[in-house]
Amino acid sequence: MKNLKKYLLLILLCLPMVLQAQTESKYLEGAVPVVDGKVTFSTIIQAQGMSASQIYDKVLEWANKYFQPKENLTPKVLYSNAEKGEIIAGGEDYIVFASNYLIMDRTRIYYHLIANCEDEKCNLTMTRIHYWYEEEIDGGYKYKAEKWITDKEALNKSKNKLAKVSGKFRQKTIDYKDQMFNEIQSVLNGQVNVKTPTVQKTNVVKETIENKRANQEAMINNAVRITLTAGNDEQFEINKESWGGFGELFGKKVTFCLIDTQKTMGNMLMEKSDSYKVTFYSLENKPVLTIHCKKLMNQTINGEEAKKMSKNCVAEKSYNMYVGEIIE
Query: Could you report the per-residue pLDDT of 83-114, keeping only the tens digit for each?
Result: 999 999 999 999 998 876 556 788 999 999 99
Query: Could you report the per-residue pLDDT of 119-130, keeping only the tens digit for each?
Result: 999 999 999 999
- Rounded CA separation 250/104 (Å): 28
Domain 27-215 coded CATH 3.40.50.720: no
> What is the value of pTM for the model shown?
0.56
Comparing 77 with 209, the larger pLDDT belongs to 77
Output the pLDDT for position 308: 82
Query: Could you report the per-residue pLDDT of 176-191, keeping only the tens digit for each?
Result: 999 999 999 999 986 4
Give the per-residue SS3 of the chain.
CHHHHHHHHHHHHHHHHHHHHHHHHCCCCCCCCEECCEECEEEEEECCCCCHHHHHHHHHHHHHHHCCCECCECCEEEEEECCCCEEEEEEEEEEEEEECCCCEEEEEEEEEEEEEEECCEEEEEEEEEEEEECCCCCCCEEEEHHHCCCHHHHECCCCCCECCCHHHHHHHHHHHHHHHHHHHHHHHCCCCCCCCCCCCCCCHHHHHHHHHHHHHHHHHHHCCEEEEEECCCEEEEECHHHEEEEEEECCEEEEEEEEECCCHHHHHHHHHCCEEEEEEECCCCCEEEEEEEEEEEEEEEEHHHHHCCCCCCCCCCEEEEEEEEECC
Q: Which listed CATH number (2.30.110.10, 2.40.50.140, 3.30.300.30, 3.20.20.70) goes with 223-326?
A: 2.30.110.10
Quick one: pLDDT band at residue 63, thresholds 50, 70, 90?
very high
- Rounded CA separation 85/59 (Å): 10
Instruction: Please report, for the chain, the start and end positions of each structural domain, with discontinuous segments joined by +.
Output: 27-215, 223-326
Is-contact 319 258, C-beta < 8 A? yes
Q: What whole-number percentage of the chain has pLDDT above 70?
A: 83
